[in-house]
Amino acid sequence: MAITIAELARALDARFWGEDSLTVTGAAEPAQTPPVEGGSGLIAMAMSPRYAAALAPGSMALLAEGMDPETYGLRAAIFAPRPRLVMAGLTRAFDPGPDIAPGIHPSAVIDPSARIGEGAAIAPFVVIGAGVEIGPGARIGAHVSIGRGSRIGAEAVIHPGARIAHGVIAGDRLIVQPGASIGGDGFSFVTPEESGIEEIRRTLGTREGIKAQHWTRIHSLGGVEIGDDVEIGANATIDRGTIRATRVGSGTKIDNLVQLGHNVVVGRDCLLCGLVGVAGSSRIGDRVVLAGQVGVSDNIEIGDDVIAGGATKIFTRVPSGRVVLGNPAVKMETQMEIQKAVRRLPRVMQQLSKFQESVTRLLEKG
């Protein structure tokens, strides 16, 4: 892709300075951005004075408001009022997109009853089941499998090796990173008699007798329902529901290696970061952010707008709007106090035992 820097500024809805006819061919860090040559070159990402030191005179750059392009000897600059937002537009402009050629590769095995939307691209060795619908403009990468009756919306991008089982209904602009599994069977088993887990949940930890227990499988008849504009990370796993579907709301973004159990409901515009696990049947509200390695127990509810810090372990209901941290999860400020107190604890205990001794001695005297 190549675009003039003035056009790029217009596309980003951002202020422009300098020679408007220079052509931008890509983006790079300041140290990797040479001066413009022959009227075209890269644009340097220098959205803080800290990064600007490495700018080459004669180059183009993206700057924060308030930075002076002349100081750095630039030939042209774009100003980013909210730098990460401008990054979004700029990276989209230069992303050549995934490696999926247009058209349907002859090696793909597509059930005759499947319907492939106009302009959809299907890569080598893809397997598509009966009754599947692929939306217009969707791109399906190499080695993807899509089970019978699943529907993928328009302009979806399914990266190589992603696994979409049967009965998965997804909206438009779905992005699935490599190796993600959507619609695997739920992890749901039952013992003929009360199991050890049921016993300790009932007794809060006490076990009266330990018996042999074999696990009988509860099959997963529900599918997975996914809204519009959802992204699912590499090797993430979303299990199908037992009776009704597991659900992910529109606008929600799921990172690599996240696990969503059967029957889980995730609301709209959530962020679930890497290695998050949500156990079966839990419900997560809208705009919830779960940082990396957060865990959510089964059958609990997380309200809207909850934010959980890194590695928080959530065992009980969290009301809407709360910011939580720690294992077990408590309010973030409470956790901060606890951490401070715990760090002081060994010293305080030593002091206390001395204090106790001397007071005891004094009182015995008295």
Which residues lie below 8 Å from residue 354, measured CB to CB, with a gap of 6+?
none
Q: Is 357 in the site for a copy of itself (CB under 8 A)?
A: no
Question: Which one, 317 or 344, has the nearer CB to a copy of itself?
Answer: 344
Amino acid at 80: A
Task: Judge whether 159 counts as a catalytic residue.
Answer: no
Which residues lie below 8 Å from residue 172, measured CB to CB, with a gap of 6+?
135, 153, 154, 155, 156, 228, 229
Question: Which one, 75 or 240, has the nearer CB to a copy of itself?
Answer: 240
CA distance 313 to 156: 33
Residue 29 CB: number of other CB atoms within 10 A? 12
Which residues lie below 8 Å from residue 339, measured CB to CB, with a gap of 6+?
326
Question: Which one, 171 or 178, has the nearer CB to a copy of itself?
Answer: 178
- Three-state DSSP at 107 gives coil
Q: Exactly one of 2, 71, 73, 215 binds a copy of itself (CB under 8 A); which one?
A: 215
Segment contacting a copy of itself by CB under 8 A, of 17-25, 70-78, 113-121, 170-178: 170-178
Contact flags string 7-26 toward a copy of itself, x per CB under 8 A:
-------------------x
Q: Is 303 in the site for a copy of itself (CB under 8 A)?
A: no
52-81 residues in contact with a copy of itself (CB under 8 A) are: none
Contact flags string 218-237 toward a copy of itself, x per CB under 8 A:
xxxx---------x-xxxxx
Q: Is 317 in the site for a copy of itself (CB under 8 A)?
A: no
In 70-182, which residue ranges form alpha helices assigned H by DSSP? 83-94
Q: Is 313 in the site for a copy of itself (CB under 8 A)?
A: yes
Total interface residues for a copy of itself by CB under 8 A = 137
Q: Which of 105, 159, 166, 262 is catalytic?
A: 262
Segment contacting a copy of itself by CB under 8 A, of 2-10, 16-24, 71-79, 155-163: 155-163
Question: Which one, 19 or 228, has the nearer CB to a copy of itself?
Answer: 228
Helix, strand, coil percentages, rounded to 5, for the chain:
20, 30, 55
Q: Exactly one of 105, 117, 137, 228 binds a copy of itself (CB under 8 A); which one?
A: 105
Question: Which one, 11 or 130, has the nearer CB to a copy of itself?
Answer: 130
Q: Is 40 in the site for a copy of itself (CB under 8 A)?
A: no
CB 45 → a copy of itself: shortest distance, Å?
5
In 104-215, which residue ranges form alpha helices assigned H by DSSP? 196-203
Which string of b and e fits 93-118 if b means at least 16 CB within 10 Å?
Answer: bbeeebebeeebeeebebeeebebbe
Segment contacting a copy of itself by CB under 8 A, of 2-10, 53-61, 67-75, 181-189: 181-189
- Three-state DSSP at 211 gives coil
Rounded to a whole number of angstroms, the distance between the first and last alpha carbons of the chain is 89
Question: Which one, 39 or 197, has the nearer CB to a copy of itself?
Answer: 197
Q: Is 200 in the site for a copy of itself (CB under 8 A)?
A: yes
Q: Is 332 in the site for a copy of itself (CB under 8 A)?
A: yes
Q: Exactly one of 243, 299, 317, 319 binds a copy of itself (CB under 8 A); which one?
A: 243
In the chain, which residue ranges form alpha helices assigned H by DSSP? 5-12, 49-52, 83-94, 196-203, 332-365
Check residue 230 and report its DSSP letter: -
Which residue numbers are catalytic?
262
